[in-house]
Amino acid sequence: MLRHPGTAFHALDLTSGIASEGEERPAARLVLGQEGLETGGFQIGGLGDAGEVLDDQAKREYRQRLSELREELEEAKGLGKAERAEELEAEIDALTRELARAVGLGGRSRRAAAAAQRARQAVRKAIKAALDRISQSHAEFGRILSQSIRTGHFCSYRPTAASPIKWQFAGTEPSHRSTSDAPSTSTEPSSMALEFLPFSAVRRTAFVNRENECRVIEAAIADARNGRGSVMMVGGGPGVGKTRLAIQMGEYASRIGFASFIGRCNERQEPVPFLPFVDIIESMLARASSLDAFRDQLGGNAPELAQLAPSLRRVFQDIPEPIELPNPQKRHYIFQSVTEALARAARTRPQLFILDDLQWADESTLALLNYLTGHIGRVPLAVIGTYRDEHCEENSAFARTLEELIRQGVRPLRLSGLSKDSVTRMLDDLSQRRIVESLVEAIFAESDGNPFFVEEVYRHLLDEGKIFDSAGRLRTDLKIDEIEVPENVRLILTRRLKRFSDREIRALSAAAVIGRSFSFRLLAAISQIEFDELFAAIEKAQEMGIVVPSAEGPEKPFTFAHELVRQTLLAQLSIARRQQLHAKVAAALESLDPKSANEHAGEISDHLVKAGSFADSRKLVSYLTIGGKRALDAAAFGEARESCRTALSEKNPLAPHERAELLVNLAMAERGLNHWDSVVANLREALEIFFKLGDRKTIAWIVNESTDALFRLGRNQEAIAWARRGLDFFGAEVSPERARLFATLGWAYKSVGDYKQAQEAMRDGLNIASQLSDPKLEAELLGVRSEINTAFSHLREAVEDGLQCEQLAGSDQSPWHRARRLFALDLALLHLGRVEDAMRIADQLEPLARKMRQFIFVAFCGFIRALVEFGKEPDLGKLAAAFKVAFEDQQSSIAGAEALFETRRSQLDFLRGDWARAMSHAQIAYRGEVERNFAGYGAGMLFRVMSYAGDRKGALALLEETRALLPHSGRPNEAPAWVLLLMVIEGLVVLGEHSQAGQFYPLVQELIEVGAIELFRISHFSQTIAGLAAGAAQRWEAAEDHFRMAMEQAESLPDSLEQAEIRRFHAMMLLVRDSTSDRARAQALLGEALESYTRIGMRRHAELTRVLLGRTD
């Protein structure tokens, strides 16, 4: 109870064996066994023991108890413990009623105290004894605990705000042992196994004949212990022993120092996102040595883990809200955060996770598993996933994931039936005798060695009296023709279930409807069976191996021994009865803990969906909506989509605002899945509803989201129309929503290349921000305008807006949008040649972008730093190493990212003289740009490499192909167009196409006028290329001026490579002009250039320079 403050435990749940997870001393637990267990000086009887008949002695005991309660009541009233006094009065009333009913009809005596009553009394006495002992040592501590502990049928620890206590639980760390320890084959769990299986253990059948699989998994566990984590998959048919093998390996891992956890997937119509991982996270919390220690492990990743497991926020109220991110980036951010938190925990103590029944996993669970597989190679974490082969194709997401895991190197272990010798060992263990050969033959033939089937056949024959004789001796005269084995395991289970009474079957069937695992409290709420009778049924089921202790935490202490057992029970229910029970489960989940009902929205909605006509339609829609929103928050987009679709398909008409909200959520789920056409369609329908409702804030938001989707679809004119319609709705209103719509309109015009209209829209929006005197809104709009100006190479204006945006808002901006705006500012500063300022902005951008997982920006900072350093001290080895680090950040889903990275690879190979590889990378980059409809960088790089490599035909054909992408005179042009122009001019001069190159000279002058010194450090300086173009146009004086200014800039920055290139290009111009002394000047320039190329290691450039030198003779 101390580990789970505020959680109510039924006395029967406590006495059924809930242990403090990680405890190694049995005496520290309250467990009811067949012989009873003495705890705290009080003897607790076995389960199902109803006690003595209410004879005179029993009545005297009741009266004595009443006397004790009345004395305790007086004491409680004297101390002012009102709540405790009420509890005591209720208990006195209950006992008084029991005494009054001591004699039944016809003079029959009734039982004095049934199991639930005796469990309540035993727990109360044990707790009271512990509190008394604490009070003797520390009176104040005892007083505080007495006020915080509630006992009765339901017991709980409820700390008061006035006396908060931070608990730290000792004894949770196991002693580390050698990895050479073999997995135990003992049928009784070790103390460490008790940590892994935290509830009272029942005897299990011997673990046999999985030596090969054990060796493979043990090796992986050993690797994980040494910091090399991995994922293992175990497949096979139902009952073949997949889960048993995984648990056996979990116990082995625990014995050598691992913390082992299990999370299960369930077959659901409405899947709960990340269910097995949520189970594991909550189990990690339950087993933490202290709340502070667990909070430290969460670290800065707590907001993201709380999106998976919302219950964390109830425990840790200091968890901040998660960072707002666009849906396509949110999932990667959450997965990275979860991985970091798990790695942090694993480095404290190695971890083993079991993900059971993955064939039923939701898409989000599978996506996270896939992500972990590629990111735990250096983490002491081992993951074992189990799945049924026969269900693989039914879950297409699982089939795809399994294929992807295999591509990543995972080699699934597929289990088959046991050998005959192993079946013999198993039967010997079950019977504790040496089984006769005829029985082994029969069972092996019927079961095909399936372990679960073997055990169920044995139990069936045992129930039929065919194993032992009347004296309890093993029958040796058993003949095969006497053995009647049902044809499948479900028939066997059906026959075995006939040993239960109708009311017991009713209880077990209700438990089956709850799910694979269940709590006594929830079962009691839906079964309408008295506690004593209900607990007797569960105890009987445990004795028969139908129900076993769970490993899923205190909220679900019982689980069915196998899913086939549960399915057999469900099959016996009529559809109507099953639906009715599902409705009851949903109602009970909602009422038992109303404060946390929303956390179980997925589970509640799943039961309501299965309840059919018994479900409350309004509640179903409500919980589907809540569940869908929670799935969205956790980036479980597939599950969110299904929840929204189910709610929208309800037959009862939805209120307009309900339908609109669901459409918006559905659109956001589709956005996360990159289904942009669906995003637009759903938002369009939602927008029409919100227009009628007049929800202005939501209307503005929908318009902004819709235009973003339309941009991604390339439907830019449609985006302009959406923005215009939104603005029409707002009229002349002066509001933040209208201001932001103008920004949306400005960006829409930017997308179609209309700089003038974009600027007008931004001006209108900024006027509204000024009227509202809202500096944050003004900063937001200035940031957008800075991005637009950078895109159109209005660099000075972009820097002015970007710096003002930072001054007004700075870190108060959304981190995601701030990173984008810092990138635009950094790029503009770099293009203006303000390298030191650009590096200062990069120092702010890189850590922010890394935190936001905007890896394209992280890589940009890496490339630019490397090229700036290369300019100061050229070293191709260092440049290649720095580029390699930047390439490692190629984890971006941003359109065109791959093309930009391939352009950089081409640039590096071009400098190193490997022009064949440079051309290959440039071709990939260009193809990627064409697909994304923004060609420029890759196309320019490809043209330059083709020209230097002498592919005249190919280069000129590429020029014709891309001519429309070149800048247009007299209007703003975007950076890719300018980069393409600069590289085309250089390539044309190299090819000797001076006439064509000269025609582009006026365009280069326009670029110089906007202040651009260099562009993205891919092409040469604007003045350098202007010198080439002017020389090609035989404007010799202008060319001399451009080369002179370019050299001044290159020396000022500095950029040593650019200086060498300027000398080479200047010399080429002089050789063409060939005036007096031009050859001598060219010779001097080329000599200096050759020295630079040789020192840097640019062998192909050095060869070209030597050829040019030959022309100076």
558-560 and 517-518 beta bridge pairing = antiparallel
170 domain-assigned: no
Amino acid at 348: T
Question: Around Cβ 9, how many Cβ atoms within 10 Å?
Answer: 23
Same domain, 127 and 15: yes
Going by C-beta distance under 8 Å and a sequence separation of 6 or more, which residues neighbour residue 830? 838, 864, 1014, 1016, 1017
pLDDT tens readout for residues 676-723: 999 999 999 999 999 999 999 999 999 999 999 999 898 999 999 999
Same domain, 233 and 349: yes
Angle among Cα 453, 457, 463 to the nearest 5 degrees reads: 145
Least Cα distance to 651 among 623, 693, 609 occurs for 609
- Counting the structural domains of the chain, the total is 2
17 is in which domain, residue-wise? 9-157
pLDDT tens readout for residues 21-43: 333 333 333 333 333 333 333 23
Same domain, 149 and 220: no
Phi/psi region, residue 257 (left: phi>0; alpha: psi -120 to 50; beta: rest), is left
pLDDT tens readout for residues 255-278: 999 999 999 998 877 778 999 999
CATH number of the structural domain spanning residue 252: 3.40.50.300
pLDDT tens readout for residues 612-629: 999 999 999 999 999 999
Rounded to an integer, the average pLDDT of 365-375 is 95
> So what's the pLDDT on residue 106?
36
- The phi and psi torsions of 673 (rounded to 5 degrees) equal -95, 5
468 domain-assigned: no
> So what's the pLDDT on residue 495?
77
Residue 961: pLDDT above 60? yes
| 874 in Cβ contact with 1059 (< 8 Å) | no
Angle among Cα 288, 289, 290 to the nearest 5 degrees reads: 90
Provide the greatest CA pair distance for the chain. 137
Name the pLDDT band for 962 (thresholds 50, 70, 90).
very high
Least Cα distance to 566 among 644, 510, 641, 483 occurs for 510
Q: How far apart are CA 488 and CA 468, in angstroms?
A: 23
CA distances from 923 to 238, 880, 916, 917, 960 (A): 51, 20, 11, 10, 16
pLDDT tens readout for residues 1023-1049: 999 999 999 999 999 999 999 999 999
Instruction: Tell me the range of 74-78, 497-501, 642-646 where mean pLDDT is highest.
Output: 642-646
**Residue that wins the pLDDT comparison between 359 and 11:** 359
Q: Angle formed by the axes of helices 1001-1009 and 1022-1032, to 10°? A: 150
**Residue that wins the pLDDT comparison between 362 and 104:** 362
> So what's the pLDDT on residue 485?
52
Same domain, 234 and 382: yes
Residue 201: pLDDT above 80? no
Specify the range with the lowest mean pLDDT, choosing from 348-352, 366-370, 500-504: 500-504
SS (H, E, C) 219-270: HHHHHHHCCCCEEEEEEECCCCCHHHHHHHHHHHHHHCCCEEEEEECCCCCC
> So what's the pLDDT on residue 198?
33
Across the beta sheet with 230-236, what order do the strands follow?
Answer: 259-264, 351-356, 381-388, 230-236, 413-414
DSSP at 382: E
Residue 199: pLDDT above 90? no
Same domain, 222 and 143: no
DSSP reduced 3-state for 542: helix
pLDDT tens readout for residues 76-132: 776 777 777 777 777 776 666 555 555 333 333 444 444 555 667 778 878 888 888
The β-bridge partners of 42 are 39
What is the end-to-end Cα distance of the chain in Å, rounded?
95
CA distances from 550 to 73, 188, 840 (A): 38, 16, 56
Going by C-beta distance under 8 Å and a sequence separation of 6 or more, which residues neighbour residue 304? 322, 333, 334, 337, 338, 341
- Look at residues 380, 414, 448 and tell me which one is the last residue of a structural domain: 414
747 domain-assigned: no
**Residue that wins the pLDDT comparison between 369 and 101:** 369
Name the pLDDT band for 155 (thresholds 50, 70, 90).
confident
Percent of the chain with pLDDT over 90: 58
| 635 in Cβ contact with 364 (< 8 Å) | yes
Mean pLDDT of the chain: 84
Residue bearing tokens 């069936």: 460
Same domain, 274 and 362: yes
Element (H, E) at 21: none
38 domain-assigned: yes
- The phi and psi torsions of 555 (rounded to 5 degrees) equal -80, -15
**Residue that wins the pLDDT comparison between 698 and 427:** 698
Element (H, E) at 829: helix 815-831
Amino acid at 572: Q
DSSP reduced 3-state for 636: coil
| 979 in Cβ contact with 1022 (< 8 Å) | no
Same domain, 404 and 261: yes
> So what's the pLDDT on residue 31?
32
Q: How far apart are CA 785 and CA 761, in angstroms?
A: 10
870 domain-assigned: no
Same domain, 263 and 348: yes
Least Cα distance to 151 among 10, 5, 13 occurs for 10
B/e letters for 121-160, b = 16+ CB within 10 Å, e = fewer, are bbbbbbbbebbeebeeeeeeebbbbbbbbbbbbbbbbebe
490 domain-assigned: no
> So what's the pLDDT on residue 483?
55
Q: How far apart are CA 701 and CA 722, in angstroms?
A: 12
Q: How far apart are CA 432 and CA 741, in angstroms?
A: 79
Same domain, 223 and 348: yes
SS (H, E, C) 720-734: HHHHHHHHHHHCCCC
Residue 393 tokens, joined: 């194709």
pLDDT tens readout for residues 862-888: 999 999 999 999 999 999 999 988 877
| 753 in Cβ contact with 765 (< 8 Å) | no
In a 10 Å sphere around its CB, with 0-12 CB exposed, 13-18 middle and 19+ buried, how is residue 308 labelled? Answer: buried
Across the beta sheet with 517-518, what order do the strands follow?
Answer: 517-518, 558-560, 547-549
Q: How far apart are CA 793 and CA 968, in angstroms?
A: 13
- The phi and psi torsions of 155 (rounded to 5 degrees) equal -115, 145
Sign of the C-alpha dihedral, residues 66, 70, 73, 75?
negative
Residue 523: pLDDT above 60? yes
In a 10 Å sphere around its CB, with 0-12 CB exposed, 13-18 middle and 19+ buried, how is residue 358 labelled? Answer: buried
Least Cα distance to 92 among 113, 68, 111, 115 occurs for 68
Residue bearing tokens 């059906």: 494
CA distances from 93 to 52, 53, 69, 98, 152 (A): 21, 20, 11, 9, 13
Name the pLDDT band for 488 (thresholds 50, 70, 90).
low
Same domain, 282 and 402: yes
Same domain, 223 and 115: no
Least Cα distance to 999 among 981, 976, 1015 occurs for 981
955 domain-assigned: no
Same domain, 149 and 229: no
165 domain-assigned: no
> So what's the pLDDT on residue 213?
92
Residue 352: pLDDT above 80? yes
- Look at residues 389, 414, 439 and tell me which one is the last residue of a structural domain: 414
- Look at residues 391, 414, 437 and tell me which one is the last residue of a structural domain: 414
The β-bridge partners of 60 are none
Q: How far apart are CA 753 and CA 763, in angstroms?
A: 17
> So what's the pLDDT on residue 9?
67
Rounded to an integer, the average pLDDT of 540-567 is 78
> So what's the pLDDT on residue 28?
31
Across the beta sheet with 149-150, what order do the strands follow?
Answer: 9-10, 154-157, 149-150
Percent of the chain with pLDDT over 70: 84
> So what's the pLDDT on residue 896?
55
**Residue that wins the pLDDT comparison between 149 and 198:** 149
DSSP reduced 3-state for 10: strand
Q: How far apart are CA 474 and CA 208, in angstroms?
A: 22
